[in-house]
């Protein structure tokens, strides 16, 4: 893609001038709006080319954004929920209009293949549709009172300003999961995206601002602030932010959870995954192998739901191993904008270093890298962090297998007994996000889904660990953080619950039969 084509994509999405309304400035080349303000130059992971330079927000900028958000909340919470849903519907329509350029920008800035970039924007559209329906279904409950002439019920109210901290691997979808549900719930949001992918965030801010302007609503309903870790710390510490939704590493999530919990705020954490697929003797091998490959190499292994471990029964192990090698030999690796590419680059050199270090550590612990693991350095891959996805024979107890490496490394682990052994291996890690079993044995499937089966927030049968639909609640247990986003009743995280009792009689009876006559 030429520089002029890239510039056209950015300009189509409104990215061309500095805009202080976002507490971030964007300049072409090396210019900056203020020489005393830090900037970050954004390089495409595809070839290292400069896309733009972004001004990083200061804590003074943060305060400006927070004040604007609070003012907007005072207006937005009075808008009826179905009317809020109408605004989200219009945002979904705008995203349909901008799907192609925004999907290309996701690929340009993050490096996932174009089909995945477009799919991520479609996920935003889908969550908008879900939120529109939800805006008429923010249900409470009614209860029968033990007191005569009394009625009890529950209702849900907006929380206020929601802080959203998102990771680089899904530059736009995770923000939409949070912000669109928060919006129909009556909240406003302040979004701190990963500083590695700010352009996608700026594009989204332009899109929602178009809708707000067309409806004469304040821009502060959706707020964007681009900065370093100090902005995330400010969100976590701020008593004006009742909920902080943070997506990222377990290390980061522990810090956010500790700080937010210290002020008795709420945190919604979506953290690391160490996801496994179990393949049993009765499995459909073709389906299992396809799912394992997509889960392991899709997004170059940089999904929180990426398949990290493949737990295979002894009777199938050598067959599965050879099939994986045959497929990996043919993997189209390269420019993610080109048709036919299935594996793009890692996000940056830091990720490449983590990939190399993990493989070195695995071998020191006794693992065997039986295919892949090389860094690709020919002219075709110049400027990007391209690797050959690695297949590694290992044991579940190895320290490196217990950790999550955000890279395309698939550990193959044997089991020889009943399915309960495989489930035990799968559960024996610190993380608990996504899990999968391939089996045509109904009893094995039910054991996997039982209370004593998979301990993950997502448990799938005959599909892989990656590629969740927005209709179900998304999240995991243990060091994954326990948060739930997206579908089902995840909306409740963005609201405060209130129990109400209405006395429509003329006496004042007390609960539990207490007598207190004055």
Tokens linked to 113: 């293949």
- How far is it between the farthest Cα atoms of the chain? 90
Catalogue the active-site residues. Answer: 270, 304
Question: By three-state DSSP, how is residue 460 classified?
Answer: strand
Cα–Cα distance measured from residue 493 to residue 267, given in angstroms and rounded to the nearest whole number: 9
DSSP letter string over 323-346?
HHHHHHTT--BS-TTSTT--B--B
Cα–Cα distance measured from residue 401 to residue 392, given in angstroms and rounded to the nearest whole number: 10
Nearest to 53 by CA among 202, 211, 157, 162: 202
pLDDT mean by block of 10 residues, the chain; 518 residues = 86 69 38 62 95 92 96 98 98 98 98 98 98 97 96 98 98 98 98 97 96 95 95 97 97 97 98 97 98 98 98 98 98 97 98 98 98 97 97 98 98 98 98 98 98 98 94 97 97 98 95 88
**Adjacent-strand bridge partners of 412:** 310, 393
Cα–Cα distance measured from residue 315 to residue 68, given in angstroms and rounded to the nearest whole number: 62
Tokens linked to 179: 């912000």
Tokens linked to 388: 């050959």
Cβ-defined contacts of 38-41 (< 8 Å, 24+): 38/228, 40/195, 40/198
Q: Quote the pLDDT of residue 38.
A: 87
First to last CA, the chain: 83
Cα–Cα distance measured from residue 102 to residue 438, given in angstroms and rounded to the nearest whole number: 35
Tokens linked to 2: 């030429």
Cα–Cα distance measured from residue 158 to residue 481, given in angstroms and rounded to the nearest whole number: 23
In angstroms, the Cα distances linking 383 to 11, 45, 333, 335, 346 are 24, 7, 14, 11, 11
Dihedral of CA atoms 401, 476, 121, 26 in degrees, nearest 10, equals -80
Cα–Cα distance measured from residue 488 to residue 473, given in angstroms and rounded to the nearest whole number: 5
């Amino acid at each position: 893609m030429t520089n002029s084509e890239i510039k056209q994509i950015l300009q189509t999405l409104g990215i061309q001038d500095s805009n202080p309304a976002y507490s971030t400035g964007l300049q072409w080349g090396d210019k900056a709006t203020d020489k005393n303000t830090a900037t970050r130059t954004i390089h495409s992971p595809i070839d290292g080319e400069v896309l733009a330079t972004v001004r990083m927000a200061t804590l003074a900028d943060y305060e400006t954004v927070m004040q604007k958000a609070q003012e907007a909340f005072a207006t937005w919470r009075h808008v009826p929920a179905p009317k809020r849903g109408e605004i989200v519907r219009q945002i979904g329509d705008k995203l349909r209009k901008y799907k192609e350029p925004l999907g290309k920008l996701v690929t340009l800035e993050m490096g996932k293949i174009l089909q995945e970039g477009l799919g991520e924007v479609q996920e935003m559209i889908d969550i908008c549709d879900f939120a529109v329906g939800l805006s008429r279904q923010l249900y409470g409950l009614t209860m029968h009172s033990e007191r005569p002439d009394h009625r009890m019920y529950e209702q849900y109210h907006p929380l206020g300003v929601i802080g959203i901290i998102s990771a680089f691997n899904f530059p736009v979808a995770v923000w939409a999961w949070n912000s669109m549900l928060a919006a129909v719930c009556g909240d406003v949001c302040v979004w701190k995206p990963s500083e590695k992918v700010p352009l996608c965030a700026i594009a989204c801010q332009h899109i929602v601002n178009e809708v707000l302007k067309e409806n004469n609503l304040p821009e502060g309903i959706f707020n964007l602030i681009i900065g370093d870790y100090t902005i995330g710390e400010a969100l976590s510490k701020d008593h004006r932010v009742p909920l902080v939704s943070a997506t990222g590493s377990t290390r980061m999530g522990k810090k956010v959870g500790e700080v937010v919990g210290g002020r008795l705020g709420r945190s919604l954490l979506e953290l690391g995954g160490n996801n496994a697929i179990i393949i049993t003797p009765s499995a459909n091998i073709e389906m299992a192998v396809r799912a394992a490959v997509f889960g392991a190499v899709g997004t170059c292994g940089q999904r929180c739901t990426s398949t990290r471990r493949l737990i295979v029964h002894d009777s199938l192990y050598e067959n599965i191993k050879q099939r994986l090698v045959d497929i990996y030999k043919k993997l189209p690796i390269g420019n993610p904008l080109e048709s036919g590419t299935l594996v793009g680059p890692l996000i940056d050199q830091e990720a490449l270093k983590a990939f190399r270090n993990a493989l070195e550590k695995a071998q020191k612990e006794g693992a065997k890298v039986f295919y892949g693991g090389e860094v690709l350095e020919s002219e075709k891959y110049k400027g990007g962090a391209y690797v050959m996805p690695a297949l590694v024979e290992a044991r579940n107890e190895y320290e490196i297998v217990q950790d999550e490496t955000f890279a395309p490394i698939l550990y193959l682990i044997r089991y020889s007994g009943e399915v309960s052994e495989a489930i035990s291996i799968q559960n024996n890690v610190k993380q608990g996000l996504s899990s999968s079993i391939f089996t045509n044995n109904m009893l094995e499937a039910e054991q996997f889904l039982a209370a004593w089966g998979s301990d993950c927030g997502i448990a799938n049968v005959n599909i892989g660990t990656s590629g969740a639909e927005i209709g179900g609640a998304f999240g995991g247990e243990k060091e994954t953080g326990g948060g739930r986003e997206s579908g089902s009743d995840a909306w409740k995280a963005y609201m405060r619950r209130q129990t109400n009792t209405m006395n429509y009689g003329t006496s004042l009876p007390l609960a539990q039969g207490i007598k207190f006559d004055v």
